[in-house]
Amino acid sequence: MIAIIDYDAGNIKSVEKAFMALGQEVVITRDQETIMNAEGVVLPGVGAFGDAMEKLHAYELVETIHKVVEKKTPFLGICLGLQLMFESSEETPGVEGLGLLKGKIIRIPEGDGLKIPHIGWNNLSYPNQGRLYQDIPENSYVYFVHSYYLQAEEPEIVRATTEYGVTIHASVEKDNTFACQFHPEKSSAVGMKILENFVKVVKGEA
């Protein structure tokens, strides 16, 4: 069973439908015991960093998420979910993130005709081999919606990058902890393959 963490940060139903389309049992929950007992856990999200952290604290989910990661349950952050997994964000100075991974979230710089937020399809490069990208060719396109992006402190955890005025760390993997800045659930066949590869990790097949 895959638990999708519900902390009032949107984007949940499309993630649920995507995993259900892959034949997975899915529960949307903020119940700590359910999350702890899940085979895999997903932290989706759209919206503001500070508001989201406030809700995770309000629902007493911060410690639960840390425990899930510590016991190496496969864990996937999506979009804002990726950003929350790091230490801080320029969007909300002074607010600490979950700190599961080292790095910071910074605003995409204004530049030559680049619109902020960055909305649309961009291709991926793979600086390091990642389990989520098995059988997905380099330069495959995925769908982004964001104004802030990740600068990971540990280059070895970065599994996919894209270019949008700057090099964006688009996906990371460390142990059984994964995250994507883009929306795999909105990225057509490529995105479904990424989620399928996460399911393989959950099932112990990758």
| Consecutive H or E run containing 16 | helix 12-21
pLDDT digits (tens, 9 = 90+) for 150-195: 999 999 999 999 999 999 999 999 999 999 999 999 999 999 999 9
173 is catalytic: no
Q: Which has more confidence, 12 or 113?
A: 12
Q: How far apart, in whole angstroms, are the C-alpha atoms of residue 69 and residue 169?
A: 21
Closest CA to 70 of 196, 174, 169: 174
Q: Which of 16, 79, 118, 173 is catalytic?
A: 79
79 is catalytic: yes
Q: How far apart, in whole angstroms, are the C-alpha atoms of residue 105 and residue 138?
A: 25
183 is catalytic: yes
The amino acid sitting at 196 is: E
The reported pLDDT for the residue numbered 10 is 74
Q: Which of 118, 146, 169, 183 is catalytic?
A: 183
pTM, entire model: 0.97
Provide, rounded to the nearest whole percent, the portion of the chain with pLDDT above 70.
Answer: 100
Q: What is the CA radius of gyration of the chain?
A: 16
The reported pLDDT for the residue numbered 173 is 98
Q: Which of 91, 173, 185, 196 is catalytic?
A: 185
Domains along the chain with CATH numbers: 2-202 (3.40.50.880)
pLDDT digits (tens, 9 = 90+) for 3-42: 999 999 877 999 999 999 999 999 999 999 999 999 999 9
Cα 194 from chain centroid? 12
